[in-house]
Structure 1
Amino acid sequence: MCYILKKINRQDNTSKKIIVVAKMEEESTSHANDRIKLNVGGKLFETTLSTIRSGGPDSLLFALSNRFSNDPNPVFIDRDPEIFSVLLSLLRTNHIPSTARRFSKQELTDEALFYGIDSYLRAATSPPPFSGIDASIVDSVRPASEGLPSTFSAAENGSVWIAHGGQLSSYDWNLIHAATLRTHLDEINSICRVWPEIVAVGSESDAGLHFYNFSGSRHVGSLHWSDPSDPRIFKARVNSITASENSVFASFDCPHRENCILEVDKAKIQIVSQLGRQSGNQAKHMVPGKLTWIPATGVLVGSAVTGGAFGYSGYIRLWDPRSGEVVWETNEPGAGRSSRFGDSFSAIDVDVEKLLLFKLCSKSGDLAMADIRRLGDDPWVYLKEKNPSLVTNGGDGSINSLVHCYKGQVFVGRGGGLEVWSRVQDMAECESDGDGEGLYRRNFVDKREDSEKGVIKKIEGGGDRLFISREDVEGIEVWESSHSAGAISVL
């Protein structure tokens, strides 16, 4: 903007006043050009262009900001003004205001999607980095029909897919119900995400591995284990499923206990190879009840465990799918330190990031760890509890216990109780010490009333959440850390 001033005496203070007025008018006009008025549902809002453009170039508000700025008429948007007020505050501060409590998650999400700022809402409502020590129950996801979950699968974005009876229900990152589809199975006991919208499932009552598409609510295909030369191979059911970047691995067993692992091409849904075929006539030939793929090494980990009047027995095996060979295995009883003979594991899991194996001993209840990169005849390091009041007295490593590794933490469910083992010492220091003293610290996660809700059946992490299901309890518990967690400096 150009300003023309009359020629006057430089010594006259009037010239200085004119220059100041001109600058003030210029700044005022500049601020006016940076403002925009919006009429949302009959309520007038005034904000800056930089605020509504902060939603990103793909948002509706960014497109509206390009309207001719000198137009005196406000932009009209036929939407709810109260929810828009919440979203505008979000763009201004990157935080959700307290007034958002008046609206449901669904209402806020729908409006954020309309304006194209759902990523902003997600960032503001996502839980803080997950810390098991500070975790607590914040929500429960409960399907509308057949609310007892048979199994579930969590994703990296914090969403979860739940199998309940013969149905599958998906819940998005905001734990809002997205879709439900009914399968042809009576009950689903194994579930694995293959693609963002494709799920692979298995049932203990129906044969075969089955694929379903959530977006189209349709059955994509099925695969069965068969062998024309062996009449014992029929009606093979799936016990566990895991997936790599290009393949799906599923363990099958038949009524006569013959079992194997089939590798399936994810893109073509075709069987590629067969691993670890066994007769199943003894404990070390049982079908793997748990499969885990380790991307860093390209190795498949499978384990099986059984318990009875004479104790527990089982095995852990590592397969190389490229050769089809077992690269390491251990059988219990029959392996481990002499002092640990007979203290077979009742549960195992793999920390795929740290490349560690964890097992829970059935008699002592102790937790043991082994480095996958240095496996041998006896690779186990037994983690010791230094607090005498927390030392287990045995009997809590039973079949009602399970182990789950997530984000460098090890979660152990013992009956209805939940505890977390957090790393406090480096592995190299542990090796110099010669034992697991102080390598991990044990803490109880739940409250007494939580542990009395029922026996924990499954634990799985996703995003910054932990999901837990319990025996004969409807729904899935959602555990998150508090935004106020962590040490606060007083300096």
Structure 2
Amino acid sequence: MKDRIKLNVGGRIFETTTTTLANAGRNSLFGAMFDDQWNPRGPMDGGQNEYFIDRNPACFSVLLDLLRTGELHIPANLPEHLLYREALYYGLLDHVRAAKWGEFDGNRVKLATSVRGRAPGDGTAIRAGPDGGCVVAHGSMVHVYSWTMEQLPPLNLNYQRINDMGFVDAHRVAVCACERIDRGDGGMGMFNSSTGELLYKFQVSHENQPKSFSAGALSFSPESGQIFASCRGRSNEYGIGVWDGYTGKQTDFYYETAGWSIGDSGRLQCLPTTNLLFVATLYPRTENCYIQLLDFREKKAVWSWSDVGWPATIDEKMVLDAIVMEDGNSICVVNQYDDLGFMDLRSNGGSVRWSTRSRLLKMGNADERCYPKLATHGGQLFASTNDSISVFCGPDWVLTSRLRRSHGGSICDFSIGGDRLFVLHNEEDVFDVWETPPLRALS
């Protein structure tokens, strides 16, 4: 074969073709070794059509087989973290990830692994990263996990209680914390997700004077690079702060209007299609629910709803979570009875349509009750209750799947990102990792 080539990896000879190596792509090490026609760029060792690469031959054998077949088979005696390190060197991490799991689908996900935390009973929140990793809040600490589930240096908040956190991108994590009156610090900080280093603190200023504040819920706009956070001052001034995600500088601030509580909100969500910000103040932060869509360009609310002052039954009170489904022009809410309700965004201030077909089903004997949480991904709606997560699909949000591990405790939080579902349990801070198997693995 004219394109046959030999690779001497750590003293072991591998014979393959440039056609096989081309499967690695232009951004790989092999893409740099060959020209646009995948011909060698320079002379090879001994003139024998051979390259020498001073790396681990056992790992290279697995990665070469991946390039040949598209399938990943890791021998039992080969540590996975060692293989991932070598895949990073060759520029093949994306190939490894694609072989391990497919595009996320809530109806096909399988439990891949469970990870136990270090602070039993203190886990409060989990957030997925864009690359398949996650962060987990434990009191005043944030534990960081790479996509290989390797634990990275933690983020330390100096004994401040964490309210929210999230990945700004694959390399940076923003963390919201309560202000400590005795220390005068708090607010929000940006951290390097790989090293745990504090990059900078976010400031709130009014009339060029810095203000102390506690930061609550977070949201990010990938399109504009902006970071949004609900803020509460020492005198209970409420508002939404806006910062440039690249410089950390404050760019805007939205103060609450009379009758609308937004600063202590439990949910913020950037809407990329309309460039609006969804703000929801929910129980138990307040006895009543306030929901609105804010237009920062016009400094006004363009849509609003509240359960204050309108004749609602007790079943429609105490909204525990809410989320916008922008594709369907609707907002989904869940109450303390695990009922799902839907509001039409095209009708300002309309009533909630409670759906019996989409009611959450309680399963298991979870010892401790946790508030239900909502999420959307790829046209699917996810809702947690007790120790399971229900998946709803279609225009009528019909229940299609239920996710539950055999001995799970109550779910206190979950998050979807990087084609993975992360589920945090109350029980000893266990969090589960759910992945979608590649289609070929199901055939």
TM tier relative to shorter chain: 0.7 to 0.9
Paired AA for residue 370 in structure 1: M
SS in 2 for 1:152: strand
Paired AA for residue 409 in structure 2: G
Instruction: Flag the 1:81–1:301 CA change in 2: closer, same or farther, 3 A.
Output: same
After superposition, give the CA deviation of every residue in 1:392-425 in whole Å (9 maximum; x if it has no partner): 9xxxxx97222222221111111223211111x4
2:336 to 343, 349, 362: 362
Does 2:239 correspond to 1:260? yes
1:51 corresponds to: 20
Using the TM superposition, name which of 155-164 and 242-251 deviates more: 155-164
Q: Distance in 1 between matches of 2:123 and 2:247?
A: 30
Q: Which has the higher strand share?
A: 2
2:168 to 166, 190, 194: 194
Paired AA for residue 44 in structure 1: I
**Residue ranges of structure 1 left out of the alignment (5+ in a row):** 1-30, 393-397, 426-438
Q: Which has the higher helix share?
A: 1
Query: How many angstroms does 1:61 deviate by?
Result: 3.8
2:111 touches 2:405 (CA, 8 Å); kept in 1?
no
The one of the two structures with greater contact order (alpha-carbon pairs below 8 A, sep at least 6) is 2
Paired AA for residue 440 in structure 1: W
RMSD: 3.7
Task: Write the mapping of 1:239-250 to structure 2, written as runs, cut at 5 A.
Answer: 239-244=216-221, 245-250=224-229
1:88 corresponds to: 64
Q: Distance in 1 between matches of 2:317 and 2:325?
A: 22
1:430 corresponds to: none
Instruction: Flag the 1:306–1:380 CA change in 2: closer, same or farther, 3 A.
Output: closer
Q: Distance in 2 between matches of 1:173 and 1:354?
A: 31
Paired AA for residue 356 in structure 1: S
Q: Distance in 1 between matches of 2:439 and 2:204?
A: 51
Paired AA for residue 380 in structure 1: V
2:137 touches 2:162 (CA, 8 Å); kept in 1?
yes
Query: How many angstroms does 1:358 deviate by?
Result: 0.5
Task: Write the mapping of 1:85-234 to structure 2, written as runs, cut at 5 A.
Answer: 85-97=61-73, 99-125=74-100, 127-142=101-116, 148-204=122-178, 206=180, 207-214=186-193, 217-225=196-204
Instruction: Flag the 1:124–1:334 CA change in 2: closer, same or farther, 3 A.
Output: same
Q: Distance in 2 between matches of 1:295 and 1:229?
A: 31
2:366 corresponds to: none
Query: How many angstroms does 1:93 deviate by?
Result: 1.0
1:329 corresponds to: 304
2:183 corresponds to: none
1:237 touches 1:253 (CA, 8 Å); kept in 2?
yes
Does 2:265 correspond to 1:291? no
TM-score, normalised on structure 2?
0.82
2:402 corresponds to: 445
Paired AA for residue 270 in structure 1: K
TM-score, normalised on structure 1?
0.74
**Residue ranges of structure 2 left out of the alignment (5+ in a row):** 181-185, 364-368
1:419 to 367, 390, 397: 390
Task: Write the mapping of 1:271-282 to structure 2, written as runs, cut at 5 A.
Answer: 271-277=250-256
Q: Distance in 1 between matches of 2:11 and 2:426?
A: 52
Paired AA for residue 121 in structure 1: V
1:300 touches 1:319 (CA, 8 Å); kept in 2?
yes
2:53 corresponds to: 77
Instruction: Flag the 1:110–1:255 CA change in 2: closer, same or farther, 3 A.
Output: same
1:240 touches 1:290 (CA, 8 Å); kept in 2?
yes
Task: Write the mapping of 1:426-437 to structure 2, written as runs, cut at 5 A.
Answer: none
Instruction: Flag the 1:110–1:455 CA change in 2: closer, same or farther, 3 A.
Output: same
1:304 corresponds to: 281
